[in-house]
Structures are given as structure tokens and as C-alpha cells.
Amino acid sequence: DTGVSQNPRHKITKRGQNVTFRCDPISEHNRLYWYRQTLGQGPEFLTYFQNEAQLEKSRLLSDRFSAERPKGSFSTLEIQRTEQGDSAMYLCASSGPRTPRDQYFGPGTRLLVL
Amino acid sequence: AQSVTQPDIHITVSEGASLELRCNYSYGATPYLFWYVQSPGQGLQLLLKYFSGDTLVQGIKGFEAEFKRSQSSFNLRKPSVHWSDAAEYFCAVVLTNDYKLSFGAGTTVTVRA
């Protein structure tokens, strides 16, 4: 069990550029979640997948955000035309079929939009 | 409105002293309850959870939490803190018909020697 991994760990980009983050969940976990955390706040839910199906999206997830989990394994989160307000920590978590509400988090990707 | 409240933004405690972090929730039905810890530069680690049954639950790293339905609270405690317990602590809930976590704003714990 290598835990949840996320890449890159840090990303600096200029406003208007597109960025993509990757999350690799724990291997047997069928649910995968994305959260966003800004300074001084708790994480906020963005979206989640069960296997390859995206089952829920938060209203926080504007049209510029898209997430995929093409084969039910890793997931990508893409932000198009980044804005300074997108600067945050993006956290990925996964949970397994036996304990679906026990979520295990990766280290996060810190995004800074200049 | 549905919410998770952590009333204390920052707590400072001496090493070896006891620690209690407060968490209150406001939901129509009792949700599933969790405590997570986040150390600098690291992801969140699950400390403990409450779904049902015994209202005093034990977790990792010597932490425990007590569920009080009458107070809509789920407070986290540790009898004797270590310097390594300095971190940010988040209370979180999952509704019984849902899977996503809703977090409080967090409490930062500083441990002084």
C-alpha cells in the first residue's frame, strides 16, 4: 500500500494558462474525491468518482474545471484559463468498497496563479 | 444552515498537558463524524471516526473523541500532548446518504516546551 499520490506537488502558472493535476489512488479503492483548500480554511468538496463514473460535482466546479477518471484508476483535474482565485491546495482522496466513508488523502498539489 | 463549527481557531498547549478540541455540527440527522490531522506540507490523516455505538471512540496517536448527541458535539481529546502533535486539526462530517466530507475551518495547535 503506497498511499494516495499526487503530481505535481507544486505548480506555478500565469493567469490564463491551463494546468492539469494527476491523482493515483490506493490501488483497490473504487471511489476518488477531489477537494480544494485555501489558506486558513478546511477543504471543500469539488467532485467525486465511483470507478470511472463522475457521480457528483460541486457548484464550486466552474466550467473551467474538468475532471476525469478514464479507466477507474488514476484521475486528472484540469483547470482551463486559470485565474488568481484558483490559487489553492488541491487535494485528492480515495476510499475502498468495504469502508467507503474512510477517505485517505494524498499530499496535495499547491497551485499558485500569478 | 448545515455546518461544522470549530470554535477555536488556535490553541497553545504545553508539552505534557491535556488537549481538547471542540467540534459542533448542525444537521437534521446525526452524520458520520471524523477528525483529521494535517501536518505542515502533508495531506490529511484520519485520526478517528464515529458512526454508531459507543460514544467514546479511540483513534491513532493516543487521541480519543466523545460524541454527545444532546450537544451536537464531537470533541477531540488527548491526555498528554507531545511536540509532534503540533498541527492543524479538522473535524468533518459525512451525511448518512452521502460520501463527500464537509469540513470545519480547522484548529491550529501549537505545542510549547
Among residues B27, B10, B17, B18, which one has the least CA distance to residue B73?
B27
Residue of B nearest to A33 (CA): B100
Mean of pLDDT over chain B? 94
Among residues B60, B77, B80, B59, which one has the least CA distance to residue B68?
B77
Q: Which residues of chain B neighbour A91 with C-beta distances below 8 Å?
A: 43-44
Q: Are the Cβ atoms of A43 and B94 closer than 8 angstroms?
A: no
Mean pLDDT, rounded, for B83-92:
97
Residue A1: pLDDT band by 50, 70, 90 thresholds? Answer: low
Distance from CA of B107 to the nearest CA of A (A): 9
Residue A2: pLDDT band by 50, 70, 90 thresholds? Answer: confident
Mean pLDDT, rounded, for A22-49:
95
Contact assessment for residue A107 and residue B41, using Cβ atoms and an 8 Å cutoff: yes
Give backbone dihedrals phi and psi of A72, rounded to 5 degrees, phi first.
70, 15
Residue of A nearest to B48 (CA): A102
Q: Are the Cβ atoms of B90 and A43 closer than 8 angstroms?
A: yes
Cell of B108: 491550529
User: Out of B100, B102, B104, whose CB is closest to A48?
Assistant: B100
Distance from CA of B88 to the nearest CA of A (A): 10
Q: Are the Cβ atoms of A43 and B44 closer than 8 angstroms?
A: yes
pLDDT in tens, A50-69: 999 999 999 988 899 999 99
pLDDT in tens, B31-68: 999 999 999 878 899 999 999 999 999 999 999 999 99
pLDDT in tens, A69-99: 998 899 999 999 999 999 999 999 999 999 9
To the nearest 5 percent, what fractions of chain A are helix, strand and coil?
A: 5, 50, 50
User: Out of B41, B43, B103, whose CB is closest to A106?
Assistant: B43
Q: Are the Cβ atoms of A41 and B46 closer than 8 angstroms?
A: no
Counting beta carbons within 10 angstroms of the beta carbon of residue B26, is it exposed (0 to 12), middle (13 to 18) or buried (19 or more)? exposed
Between CA B72 and CA A13 the distance in angstroms is: 43
